[in-house]
Amino acid sequence: MNEADIKQAGDELYNALVNRTTLRPLTERYPDITIKDAYHVSLRMNERRIEAGERIIGKKIGVTSKAVQNMLNVHQPDFGFLTDKMAYSQGQEMPISELMIQPKAEGEIAFVLKNDLLGPGITNADVLAATDFVIPCFEIVDSRIENWQIKIEDTVADNASCGLFVLGDTAVSPLDVDLTSCGMVVEKNGAIISTGAGAAALGSPVNCVTWLANTLGEFGIPLKAGEVILSGSLVPLEPVKAGDFMSVSIGGIGSASVRFV
């Protein structure tokens, strides 16, 4: 893709986000698109968000679990940026009918950092040392691509299908929880719909943050102290609509819940 294509695609994705419309997959229009191109498209899309007054507060890694990889037929992780406008608090209503197109909920563990991490060469020990605390999280992903027909380049371009997220209200030091074996229980409208454990995301949520630090390091981008890092879903994606209520609880960490309107 040339610079004009990248700008064009980034603008179209931004407009789709704002107007709640969808595009045909970029991989269809630009069959030779690379992940690097896609990343530059996402930068353009995020530039538009920042111009509109949003602020980057963290990063996310997605497509980390086998369940999600199989569902999307995308077999490597993706990454995106979180802005202040995406963040909701525990118990707050989330207006998905106003803001989202084809939302799906994921239960995750969020990391909040106390030190910067700049790859390459970041190890799990570096990530644990740089982690202030972990916190339960619901990420509501959304795709600006028609019917979620995404390949890896489509989702990277579309800011890793990022939508909105809710953080729970209990924070735990990584010293106090086994992040690989901690269990996750997701309930929708009072029924348990899925369970999983930390290892569902690339073997451990810590592996995910390490992968993200090293991958973004290739673009010279650090994970920064104070940022929220969403480490990827531990359960299958669940489509949601206005009126649904969901909660997630994580063994040894706590819970988060969200009401969709």
Partner 1 sequence: MSDNNLNQEQIAAAAAHLEQAELEAYEVTKLTDDYPEMTYKDAFDIQWEIRRRKEARGNKIVGLKMGLTSWAKMAQMGVEHPCYGFLADYFAVSDGGEIKTDELIHPKIEAEIAFVTKKALKGPGVTIADALAATDFVLPAVEVIDSRYKDFKFDLKSVIADNSSSTRFITGGQMQRVENVDLKNFGVVMEINGEVIATGAGAAVLGHPAASVAMLANMFGERGEEIPAGTFIMTGGITAAVQCQKGDNFSVRYQGLGTVTGRFV
What residues make contact with partner 1 under the rule CB under 8 A?
178, 180-185, 191-192, 195-200, 203, 234, 249-252
Nearer residue to partner 1 within complex by CB, 222 or 251: 251
Nearer residue to partner 1 within complex by CB, 123 or 181: 181
Q: Is 108 helix (H, G, I), strand (E, B) or coil?
A: strand
Task: Tell the smallest beta-carbon distance from residue 194 to partner 1 (Å).
Answer: 9
Count CB neighbours of 92 within 10 A.
12
Nearer residue to partner 1 within complex by CB, 64 or 131: 64
Quick check: 145 and 107 in contact, CB under 8 A? Answer: no
Tokens of 194: 């899925």
Nearer residue to partner 1 within complex by CB, 42 or 249: 249
Task: Tell the smallest beta-carbon distance from residue 99 to partner 1 (Å).
Answer: 30
Task: Tell the smallest beta-carbon distance from residue 41 to partner 1 (Å).
Answer: 32
Quick check: 215 and 119 in contact, CB under 8 A? Answer: yes
User: What is the C-alpha separation between 38 and 146, in angstroms, rounded?
Assistant: 17
DSSP assignment of 11-79, as one string? HHHHHHHHHT--B--HHHH-TT--HHHHHHHHHHHHHHHHHTT--EEEEEEE--BHHHHHHHT--S-EE
Nearer residue to partner 1 within complex by CB, 17 or 184: 184
Nearer residue to partner 1 within complex by CB, 119 or 174: 174
Task: Tell the smallest beta-carbon distance from residue 172 to partner 1 (Å).
Answer: 13
Task: Tell the smallest beta-carbon distance from residue 206 to partner 1 (Å).
Answer: 14
Task: Tell the smallest beta-carbon distance from residue 176 to partner 1 (Å).
Answer: 12
Task: Tell the smallest beta-carbon distance from residue 198 to partner 1 (Å).
Answer: 6
Nearer residue to partner 1 within complex by CB, 137 or 156: 137
Quick check: 137 and 167 in contact, CB under 8 A? Answer: yes
Give burial (CB, 10 Å; 0-12/13-18/19+) of 103. Answer: buried
The torsion region of residue 203 among left (phi > 0), alpha (psi -120 to 50) and beta comes to left
Query: Which H or E element spans position 231?
Result: strand 228-233
Q: Is 145 helix (H, G, I), strand (E, B) or coil?
A: strand
